[in-house]
Structure 1
Amino acid sequence: MSEQGAVQSADDHVVLGKLTSPYGVKGWLKVYSYTGPMEGILDYPEWVLRRGDRLERRRLLQGRRHGKGLVARLEGCESREAAEALAGVEILLPKAELPALEAGELYWHQLEGLRVVTREGAVLGRIDSLFETGANDVMVVKGALEEGALDARERLLPYLPGEVILEVDLEGGVITVDWDPEF
């Protein structure tokens, strides 16, 4: 990929989606979006593309819903061959460009990697990822990721503040939960 502009490290970014495959012959690409709603990814006029360790900036020229997915055309991508070269590339956004949240709201990337501890002090593991179920978000907690965890199990905990989630300490890197480790 060619350099379109200087970019900070990947740690300063959050993954918004992925370019999956070419669409047509004029440089358009199919986009898999991790944003909610799906079209939210099109609100950002410039994307950072990551392939391996390489990062580059590309302006979003056009984007729209197409069927059940999205398609987009990026700066410097004028042909099917150019689009093929971008297939499989992740779409990032600098964390500093994320919209401000209301008090008490968090982005998923802020929760990933937090140590999960029960109110009794038992260490369940670390949050590996999150996913939506429709009713609520679910945290994937892996014991194998945290030294001192009760076991190496993977647990699925609902993200329900005030019920399961008792406290989120971002600075301390810990989330305290009301959860039976045997469940």
Structure 2
Amino acid sequence: MGKTHEELFQVGTVTGTHGLRGDIKVRPLTPGSTSILAAQTLWLRRETEGDFLTYKLRKASVHKASLLVRLEGVESIDAAAPLKGALVFMSREELPDLEEGQSYWYELQGAEVIDRRLGSIGTLEDVFETAAHDVYVVQGRFGEVLIPAVDEFILEFDEENACLHVDLPLGLVDEAKAEQVP
């Protein structure tokens, strides 16, 4: 059964092969994510607009900062090598449930970010991981704003309206800059 793009969630990229039995190394889209471990089926796409190739997941495990994945029908290094660079997707239905107050990146990306004091400050464009916590990258009327993704600053995510409510500490943004940025 085919899935539409809206039903799929990108979870990583194939970065190479591992061993001679056809295992592939997948770098998770979100560092440290193990969502693939819950999948029964994966969809791989070589080109941004190319067709999806569907594979049953035979085995997956964490290996350093990557995941080692064995796909049904990919039984050798020669069969696995052409998959390098492919984008890896899984069905949103198979994503593990998150704890209360947590969200997947695909739910947050593009959300309007609204500060308790300043109002709308822009759009959530990216996230990156640091040793201490994730950092949200917001683009908007203050230029680029980096918000530590910690409970102290992140109030709530309104999934229905795609709004992330925050309470920025004083001095995190240059309020004078809002006048200069279109």
State the TM-score, normalizing by the size of structure 1: 0.77
Aligned to 1:158: 148
Which amino acid counterpart does residue 159 of structure 2 have in structure 1? L
**Structure 2: how far apart are the matches of 1:15 and 1:159?**
21
Which of these residues, 27, 30, 36, is aligned with residue 32 of structure 1?
27
- Structure 1 stretches lacking a partner, 5+ long: 144-149
Aligned to 2:156: 167
Q: CA deviation at 1:39?
A: 5.0
Which of these residues, 14, 36, 42, is aligned with residue 37 of structure 2?
42
**Structure 1: how far apart are the matches of 2:110 and 2:54?**
27
Aligned to 1:182: 174
State the TM-score, normalizing by the size of structure 2: 0.77
The DSSP-based 3-state class of the residue aligned with 1:81 is: helix
- Structure 2 stretches lacking a partner, 5+ long: 176-182
Aligned length: 170
Superposed CA RMSD: 2.5
**Structure 2: how far apart are the matches of 1:171 and 1:38?**
24
- TM superposition outliers: structure 1 runs of 4+ over 3 Å: 34-40, 63-70
**Structure 2: how far apart are the matches of 1:25 and 1:141?**
43
Q: Is the CA contact (8 Å cut-off) linking 1:27 and 1:77 kept in structure 2?
A: yes
The DSSP-based 3-state class of the residue aligned with 1:6 is: coil
Please show how residues 80-99 of structure 1 align to structure 2 within 5 Å: 80-99=77-96
The DSSP-based 3-state class of the residue aligned with 2:52 is: strand
